[in-house]
Copies of this chain bind each other. A is one copy, B any other.
């Protein structure tokens, strides 16, 4: 992928392609020709153009629909779009991110009924500084190294050191919520502590094994990716965090299981009393399944929306078929769509997909990694 250049003017051809698709899919928007004329003039005069609210909403949904690594795309039409384009000051952005989490988590008796939400902040304008969030997700846990040992999430050790240098102090637990860091242009980075009320968490227990709760594992309810640029019709939105709900495997087969993350497979296997003297006892696979059972069971018990990889694989194929009937291809990246546990058992394993880069879409820039 070529690196994004924030100072490049918008390409009218890309704007036109998006607008034609958008107005064809949404007949209620009326004819596209007058709109194209306006956009052409705006680009000629300013090097960019602005989306109407309806274009923004549908463009974000199309971007999700085109996200070839996402297995959850059957829900694309239901994305809630929070239009935050007017809000540029860090304090205001932070308030908006907190309200994103409230909307995404659900409030009152709806708490836990997660919704797909995206917050779209100001578009990139040639020559104007961009406000960036350092975090790759809105909610993540700190990682601390002490001698040979590690507490928390090793993936965030560097990030944790960086915010510590900026004056942050963690409690040193395995699940300390990291602060958000916002930075405008070359200005000073600013730290913001997430209020507890905005972060729903689920303590993990197991339907059969009482000792599981003693491991003290937990995870946050809302996965909110915050470091991808949203690109719609040639216009880029560098800050556009989005969130859905978890597929259990992301927690149970990656975040808590990966050797370079919480590395809980040996711990669970030891508690299960498995024979770890040889790989062929499949002790890793057995511990993995129990860890994933605990995740799904705990989320369901806490009333937090979550999905499993079997159901979601089937829904994804329903989506592919629906899209086909609507005359659209569904580009998909097999290596991301097939879940990291029991891949062969899921119907998504047994077929190939096209891999085209269709726009609108989400992009990860090197500078944001």
Contacts and interface: CB of A to CB of B under 8 A. Distances in A.
Interface of A: 248-249, 253-254, 257-258, 260, 265, 279-282, 284-286, 288-289, 292-293, 296-297, 300, 308, 310-311, 334-335, 338-345, 349-350
A308 B286 CA distance: 14
A279 B314 CA distance: 11
B285 A342 contact: yes
Count of chain copies: 2
Contacts of A340: 342-345, 349
Given A285-B289, A335-B334, A248 B280 contact: yes
A257 B296 contact: no
Nearest to A258: B344
B282 A292 contact: yes
Contact of A284 (B281, B285, B342, B350): B342
A344 B253 contact: yes
B310 A297 contact: no
A342 B269 CA distance: 15
A285 B345 contact: yes
A296 to B, nearest CB: 4
Contacts of A288: 342, 345
Contact of A282 (B281, B284, B308): B308
Contact of A342 (B293, B296, B342): B342
Contact of A293 (B257, B282, B338): B282
A39 to B, nearest CB: 38
Nearest to A349: B340
A341 B260 CA distance: 20
A61 B309 CA distance: 39
Q: Which one of A280, A289, A345 has the greatest number of beta carbons of chain B within 10 Å?
A: A280
Contacts of A350: 258, 260
Contacts of A260: 350
Contacts of A280: 248, 296-297, 300, 308, 311
Nearest to A342: B285
A343 B345 contact: no
13 contacts: A253-B345, A258-B350, A265-B345, A280-B300, A282-B289, A282-B308, A284-B345, A285-B289, A289-B289, A335-B338, A338-B343, A340-B344, A340-B349
A265 B342 CA distance: 12
Contacts of A286: 289
Q: Which one of A254, A282, A300 has the greatest number of beta carbons of chain B within 10 Å?
A: A282
Q: Which one of A260, A288, A342 has the greatest number of beta carbons of chain B within 10 Å?
A: A342
Contacts of A281: 293
Contacts of A339: 343
Given A257-B345, A279-B311, A285-B289, 11 more contacts: A254-B344, A280-B308, A280-B311, A282-B292, A282-B293, A282-B296, A284-B345, A289-B289, A340-B343, A341-B343, A342-B342
A350 B258 CA distance: 10
Contacts of A341: 285, 341-344
Contacts of A334: 335
A285 B279 contact: no
Contacts of A284: 310, 342, 345
**7 smallest beta-carbon distances between A and B, as pairs:** A340-B344, A279-B310, A280-B296, A285-B342, A280-B308, A285-B289, A253-B344
